[in-house]
A and B are shown apart, each in its own frame.
Chain A
Amino acid sequence: MRITQQAMSYQALQRLQNRLDQLAQAQASLGSGKRIHKPSDDPSAMNRSMSLRGLQAASDQAARNASDGLLWTSLADSKLQTLLDRLHRARELAVRSGSVTNDAEREAFAAELRSIREEAIAIANSKIGDRALFAGTADGDAVSADGTAYLGDEGVVERRVGPNDVVRVNVLGSEVFGFDDGRDLFSVLDDLTTHIASGDSAGVQTSISEIDDSMDRILSALAELGAATNRIEAAQRRNADEKLSLQDRLSQVESVDVAEAIMQLQLQQVAYEATLGALARSIQPSLIDFLR
């Protein structure tokens, strides 16, 4: 083929341009640490990257849901444990009241029971943030101030802690405190106080068995909360693993292998310099240099 000076400089310029373009690309990928900057860089990898990013967002949110859920279950657990302690004390007082003969001592027992009842009402109206812990999804208190009525609803509070993994995190005051069974904890304590104050030992016996029923209800609620806590904690561990694996997969799809990128940059730089060198040698001489 016939080669002319113009063709040579055209070709050399094009080669130089290609080399420089590749060098710029190698620099860009090393600088940003990313292999794909726009969909056309690698459409299928972009699809995977977007999908992984979506899963990552969902998994982050699931982690937040889980810690919020744990807040609910652990708070309800500690509140109900305290209530259980108070009921044990009430039962102990009821049992001991059988051997008490003087009115003043009975009155002291009754007074302590009244304060236990007040405490139980306060526990039943525990708050989590701006809402009642045991009132379902209703606003305001779970139990009326005098302990005679349940004010909440039957609302279920659930938390999504993983893909297709929804855990119920609340227990309802109406169940735990016995409003549903007709004998609520607060009237049981009220009756017990009356029985002790009046020295009605048969009444006290009935109340003791009623307190046992109440404690059973609380224990079963505690078991429910424990199971929920376990599920949430298991989901949290799974989620943490998942997060790592998602991060790993995302970086496989998106990120640049730094060692390879550095080598690539070096190679491109050498190639660019070689092209420049070849250009400098090939463009300069012509016959003119050798004519006198």
Chain B
Amino acid sequence: MADFLSLHTALSGILAARAGVETTSHNVANAHSTGYTRQRVTQLSREYGHQTSYGTIGTGTTIDGISRARNEFLDMRVRAGLGLAAGLDVRASLLGRVEEALAEPELGIGAALADTWNAFEELSLSPTDPAARRNVIATLQALTTRINTVAESWNRVASDAQVSIQQDIGEVNRLLQEVAGLNEAIRRSSGLATPNDLYDRRDLALDRLAALIGATSREMEDGTVKVSVGGLTLVQGDRASEISWNADDLTIGHVSGVDVQPGGAIAEYQRFLAEDLPARQATFDQFVTHLVETLNSRHNAGTYGPGQSGADLFDPAATAFTLTLLVTDPYELAASGDPFATHDGGNAASLAALREEPVPGDGRTLDQIWREIVTDIGVSARTALDAASAQAGLQSAAELARMGAHGVSIDEEMVALIEYQHAYQASARVMTAVDELLDQLITRTGLVGR
């Protein structure tokens, strides 16, 4: 009986080695698959031994299961960083576009202002020269256009951010559905066989959710995960609840009626649309108001032709977006400070002097106000860029640690392959030995006297 048992023991070794080779080849095949976690055959000695009078003889090996080398802590670390990194990237690129629109220092509003002051001063030299007058109108028009262009480009950045957030919310909803579906599949298959590759798919979706909206997840006892964003549960078991973007009040709606407090990329789009851009647009509009008020009041104080007062240069109610030049006839430029002195350029000189005079009620010159706006945007863009690259460094360290723990090492697999190959060969050798023993017993025993 013991001899037959050894055959089975060797068979269990062969079966285990075969499972080992198959798992290894699965690992090697998936060495570069996204989100793949290496798998290992967990092999234990068989617990039921063969009782004899002198003790228990082992009866071989058994495959306990195929485990997945997943480290929850590393996942959490990577996901926390993913949300931050994606958010900072979004912020840096949005602020980058805001500053690109300025086209400073060469083709921006700063240069247009300097041109304007020079044009007015040139007009003060020869107030009746039509070329000097036309030049003033042209530079004022250029200034207006540049202000309009900046306002328009900023609006375009805002509408692009709206489109991006809309797309991202769509992707979040799709991923939430996917996670719910995978939850269901995992729960149903649990106990029968470990669906390792389903876990990998779900982890991939959870990574993406962390980057997009800063979602966190917790594994439940039945193998499903609960996904929540800012304390609000979005997936529980096989149920996912949709979220939606309200473009009007810039909030993210949820069926419960509570607004979602997002993280990740979506949070930065939302923050840019709700805070960053409106604040900058307000300071920009404030600058335009100062520009319009000071230039208008100076121009009103002057005269053109015989004794006609200067009209408003710009529409007094204008914002950066709607700013338009009202005086387009060069003749109507009020260059003169003296109503009937044809060749007086006093008022043009006084307009040009705005180059150095502080705006009433503000204390800074127009040039200074504009410089501060530009510097301010530059500083926030710089800060965002630095934060993004610092976070990218941290993130790649976390990603690397996780890849190291979860990924497939070809060398390691080759070693495992050789091990399993040897184990297979050894078990086969055991079988041959037992076979020879049996042969001895069957064909060579009991032949005395033949």
Contact of B341 among A4, A44, A130, A155 (CB under 8 A): A155
Main secondary structure on A side of the interface with B? helix
Is B290 an interface residue when CB atoms closer than 8 A count as contact?
A: no
Interface residues of B, CB < 8 Å — how many? Answer: 60
Pairwise interchain contact A46-B378, C-beta atoms closer than 8 A:
yes
Which residue of chain A lies nearest to B415 when distances are taken between CB atoms in the complex?
A: A287
Stretch at the interface among A134-142, A187-195, A209-217, A271-279: A134-142
Bound Cα distance from A160 to B352, whole angstroms: 10
Contacts of B249 in A (CB 8 A): none
**Other-chain contact of A44, B100, B110, B375 (Cβ < 8 Å):** B375
Interface contact A46-B32, CB-CB below 8 Å: no
Kindly state whether residue B381 has any CB partner on chain A within 8 Å: yes
- Residue-by-residue, is B340-351 near A (CB-CB < 8 Å gives 1, otherwise 0)? 111110000100
Are A53 and B110 interface neighbours, CB within 8 A? yes
In the assembled complex, A148 has its CB within 8 A of some CB on chain B: no
A58 with B355: in contact, given A40-B381, A64-B122 (CB under 8 Å)?
A: yes
CA distance A10 to B396 in the complex (A): 9
**How many Å from the CB of A137 to the closest CB on chain B?**
4
Q: Which of A212-261 contact B (CB under 8 A)?
A: 254
The verdict on B138 contacting chain A, using a C-beta distance below 8 Å, is no
Residues from chain B with Cβ under 8 Å of A47 in the complex: 371-372, 374-375
Interface 1/0s, chain A 279-292, versus B by CB < 8 A? 00000001110010
Are B410's CB and A130's CB within 8 A? Answer: no
Residue on B with the closest CB to A46?
B378
Q: Is the CB of A68 within 8 A of B125?
A: yes
A4 to B403, Cβ gap below 8 A?
yes
Any B CB within 8 A of the CB of A202: no
User: CB-CB < 8 A to B32: which residues of A?
Assistant: 5-6
A153 located at the interface, meaning its Cβ lies under 8 Å from any Cβ of chain B in the complex = yes
- Quick check: is A266 within 8 A (CB to CB) of the other chain? no
Residue of B nearest to A11 (CB): B400
Instruction: Indicate whether B163 reaches chain A with its CB closer than 8 angstroms.
Output: no
A5 touches B409 (CB 8 A): yes
B409 and A4 within 8 A (CB): yes
Q: Which residues of A contact B115 (CB under 8 A)?
A: 57
Q: Which one of A11, A39, A65 has the greatest number of beta carbons of chain B within 10 Å?
A: A39
B277 shortest CB reach to chain A, Å: 16
A144: interface (CB < 8 Å): no
Contact A39 B375 (CB under 8 A): yes
A6→B125 contact, CB < 8 A:
no
Chain A residues within 8 Å of chain B by Cβ, number:
51
In contact, B379 and A43 (Cβ under 8 angstroms): yes
Q: Which of B111, B372, B403 contacts A6 (CB 8 A)?
A: B403
B31: which A residues are within 8 A, CB to CB?
5-6
A53-B105 contact, Cβ under 8 Å, with A2-B409, A286-B410: yes
- Min CB distance A140 to B, Å, is 8
Return chain B residues, CB-CB under 8 Å to A36.
105
Contacts of A58 in B (CB 8 A): 114, 117-118, 355-356
**Extra 6 A-B pairs, beta carbons < 8 Å, given A38-B381, A129-B126, A137-B341:** A38-B104, A39-B104, A47-B371, A58-B117, A153-B341, A159-B125
Residues of B within 8 A of A (CB): 31-32, 95-96, 99-100, 102, 104-105, 110-111, 113-115, 117-118, 121-122, 125-126, 128-129, 336, 338, 340-344, 349, 352, 355-356, 367, 370-372, 374-375, 377-379, 381-382, 385, 396, 399-401, 403-405, 407-411, 414-415, 418
Q: Sample 11 A-B pairs with CB under 8 A, ordered by A number.
A: A2-B404, A3-B404, A40-B382, A43-B379, A44-B375, A54-B113, A54-B355, A137-B338, A159-B125, A287-B410, A291-B414
